[in-house]
Chain A
Amino acid sequence: MKLEFAFAICAFCAPAAIAAAPAPSCSLVPGWAQEGPARSYVPDTLFDYMDGNAEGYLIYEFVRMNGVNCKKGGDTIVFDVSEMSTPEMAWGIFASNRDPRLPLEKVGTSGQILTRRAIFAKGKYFVELAGNPASDADLRAFMLAMEKRIDGPTELPAAIGWFPEEKLDKSSIRLVPESVLGLSQLKRGFAASYDFGKAFIVKEQSADSAAAVMNKLRQRFSGATPVKVADEAIQATDKYLGRMVFFRKGPFLGGYADVAEGQDPVVLAATLAARIP
């Protein structure tokens, strides 16, 4: 878990390094052989492969997927490598699919072994292995071998390290690809849960566009009052988002919602703002 927070040095939205699209291969692990043809999908055809789950990929800016089925005796592994638009998006889809109750694996940017399933992100790639039944050892062997074939950064998005760690549920941190806190004004950003509420960080293109979003939030929460945090901030209460403080620091928007009684949302927001460079 410490890996998640160590030296998160890549930019909030660092552009992806150019990397050759890696193809999954059954020969990565001795004893396994490919069964049937390789497959590949692009956004318009992903529906052909995963009817009913494609949107979950498209919303993380899915670019393409290469996949094969591998077989060893009576075991099979469905092995898919998806390319997303950026490393941030690859980590984002990983985080949305990981099980918050299970430990992470030190593979690529981050990985996890689940029940008969293994996933990891590295660079702008999201790798999935589904075993039937296939042992954890086999899944881990494929993960480690595939990780070596993928170029790209392994640093976590920097914003993850900006959330204060006290009472933070580290497994809750995720990239919300659309409508952070369920608010259309907060288009995309990181969210994290605490035992006293939830926090978010959104990066706008510029300080001006972030200021425009703050204005929209003031309109959205008409009873909001100004408070002193970073460049500008508002405090409000909402039936569904509870006690909130939203602030702007340069191009960044951040804040807390659902803050429990006994906690001061202004103090929390100021602490978060101070950690944003």
Chain B
Amino acid sequence: MQKLEDSLRYRTLGKTGMKVTSVAFGCMITSDASVIERAADLGINYFDTARVYQGGNNERMVGAALKSRRQKVYISTKSGGRTKEAALTDLDTSLRTLGTDYVDIWYLHGKTHASDLVPELLEAQEIAKKAGKIRFAGFSTHGGFEDVIPAGIALKHFDVILTSYNFTMGSSIDKILDDAKAAGIGLVAMKVMAGGFRTAKAGTRQYDVLKRDGAFLSALKWVLRTPRIDTAIPSMTDSDQLDQNVTAMTSQYGSTDEKLLAAQLRHVGPLVCRGCGGCEGVCSKGLPTSDLVRFAMYADGYGQFALGRERFLELPDEQRAVRCSDCSTCPIRCPNGVDVVGRVARAQELFG
């Protein structure tokens, strides 16, 4: 049987030159430092946290767990500060809480629009670099990829981008990621198991089935199958998850994985909008179709009828009056297999 340590594989994180394990560690929901310590001892060498996680308690735990290993590992954290002063104050707090003089990567947290990458935050990262408090500058993004990632590339400021990337997204942002890669920007993937697994909670039957079938591992292998991603940071709460995820570094993504993920996509695919924007501007009546798909999801998926109706009623009168049945044909074809017309009609039926 192969030792876990033999499963380690390294990739270079863009122009940073950092040799990171292709599976790194997202510490966000980790509760016990022993899992982080064990990961570091196994050879995982990149750990990600953020100022906001658990009100700062996450940084405290990560710092304590890695204190004696600081020279052997890379640590990143993030600030959601909206001004230079707020971000730099966050950074100082992070360093103090982590118990370190510097972080390897400091991300601007959760940027969705090009306009979020404001000059004063970039300046904050420059100041922090010059002060030796950070080695590299990055930003994280969970959406709006088509807008924020090209803008981030064009600024020629960022060393690393931390982005959502999982099998439910297909190839929708591959071109953008390739552009970032070509610019020398290191790419870190997060939410690698989110997508279809978002509703599967530990302890539930669905979770157990997915875990038993190995779908979680398949989702991670899907991300690692492409060299455009330098490392992934799945969240891990226990040693079993850690052991499983480590094996993803040397496991080939194959037909079994494909079948498992296809089954999961069939489960969520027709209902859940992936936010690719492919249907926007296509409706001849001018409907914001992805929004309407989501409004229907509020009612059908989460029992939040009132919320769905509230959002629907915020639409302009002329959009609320439209019925899909008014058209004999519809040009919308979702590249991700969402039944857009059916879901929009469902929203009209429920809320109109």
Partner-B contacts on A (CB < 8 A): 40, 42-45, 47-48, 50-53, 55-56, 58-59, 61, 64, 96-100, 114, 119, 174, 176-184, 187-188, 191, 239-241
Nearest opposing residue in chain B for A41, CB measure: B307
Pair B55/A96 contact, Cβ less than 8 Å: yes
Contact (Cβ within 8 A) A180 B32: yes
* Contact call B142/A47, Cβ cutoff below 8 A: yes
Q: What separation, in Å, do the CA atoms of A166 and B110 have in the docked complex?
A: 43
Further pairs besides A181-B32, A184-B239: 7, Cβ < 8 Å: A42-B298, A44-B302, A52-B109, A53-B110, A174-B31, A182-B34, A191-B31
CB within 8 Å of A: which of B235-272?
235, 237-241, 272
Known interface pairs A52-B50, A52-B140, A182-B238; A61-B55 also in contact (CB < 8 Å): no
What's the minimum C-beta distance from A15 to chain B, rounded to whole angstroms?
A: 16
Binary CB contact string for chain B from 38 to 74 against chain A (1 if under 8 A, 0 otherwise): 1001000000001011111100000000000000000
B339 → chain A, closest Cβ, in Å? 17
B203 touches A (CB below 8 Å): yes
CA distance A50 to B51 in the complex (A): 13
Tell me, rounded to whole Å, the shortest Cβ–Cβ distance linking B99 to chain A: 14
- CB-CB under 8 A for A43 and B28, given A56-B54, A98-B55, A100-B57: no
CB within 8 Å for A178 and B202 given contacts A42-B307, A51-B142, A184-B240: yes
Closest to A242 in B: B34
B241 touches A184 (CB 8 A): yes
Nearest-neighbor residue (CB-CB) of B238 within chain A: A179
Interchain CA distance A64-B298 in the complex, whole Å: 11
Residues from chain B with Cβ under 8 Å of A45 in the complex: 294, 298
Instruction: Sort chain B's interface into a size bin.
Output: 35 or more
CB distance from A76 to the nearest CB of B (A): 12
Does residue B175 face the partner (Cβ distance < 8 Å to A)? Answer: no
Q: CB of B188 within 8 A of chain A? A: no
Judged by a CB distance under 8 angstroms, whether B201 is at the interface is yes
Q: Do the beta carbons of B110 and A52 come within 8 Å of each other?
A: yes
In contact, A40 and B307 (Cβ under 8 angstroms): yes
Residue in A closest to B273 when the chains form the complex, CB atoms: A44
Known A-B contacts A96-B55, A188-B203; A240 and B34 likewise in contact (beta carbons under 8 Å): yes
A178 partner residues in chain B, CB cutoff 8 A: 29, 31, 202, 237-238
Tell me whether A51 and B55 are in contact (CB under 8 A): no
Taking CB as reference atom, which chain A residue is nearest B37?
A240
Knowing A53-B53, A240-B37 are in contact, say whether A182-B239 is a contact too (CB < 8 A): yes
The answer on a CB contact under 8 Å between B307 and A99 is no
Give me the interface of B with A, judged by CB distance under 8 Å: 28-35, 37-38, 41, 50, 52-57, 78, 80, 109-110, 112, 140-143, 198-199, 201-203, 235, 237-241, 272, 294, 297-298, 301-302, 304, 307, 310
Q: Which residues of A contact B35 (CB under 8 A)?
A: 179, 182
Nearest-neighbour CB distance to chain B for A219, whole angstroms, equals: 12
Are A184 and B238 touching (Cβ within 8 A)?
Answer: yes
Are A183 and B239 in contact (CB-based, < 8 A)? yes
Nearest-CB residue, chain A, relative to B55: A97
Q: Using A179-B31, A240-B34 as known contacts, say yes or no to A52 and B78 having CB atoms under 8 A apart.
A: yes
Least Cβ–Cβ distance between B36 and chain A, in angstroms: 9
**Distance from A152 Cβ to chain B, minimum over Cβ atoms (Å):** 20
Residues of B within 8 A of A181 (CB): 32, 34
25 contacts between A and B (CB under 8 A): A43-B199, A44-B198, A44-B294, A47-B142, A51-B112, A52-B78, A52-B80, A55-B28, A55-B29, A56-B53, A59-B29, A99-B56, A174-B31, A176-B31, A177-B29, A178-B237, A179-B31, A179-B32, A179-B237, A179-B238, A181-B32, A181-B34, A183-B239, A240-B34, A240-B37
Task: Report A175 CB to chain B, min CB distance, Å.
Answer: 9
Contact B52–A52 (Cβ < 8 Å): yes
In the bound complex, do residue A114 and residue B55 qualify as a contact, i.e. CB atoms below 8 Å apart?
Answer: yes
What's the Cα separation between A44 and B311 when bound, in Å?
15
Q: Are A96 and B54 in contact (CB under 8 A)?
A: yes
Which of A44, A99, A177 has the largest number of chain B CB atoms within 10 A?
A: A44
Contact between B28 and A241 (Cβ–Cβ < 8 Å)?
no
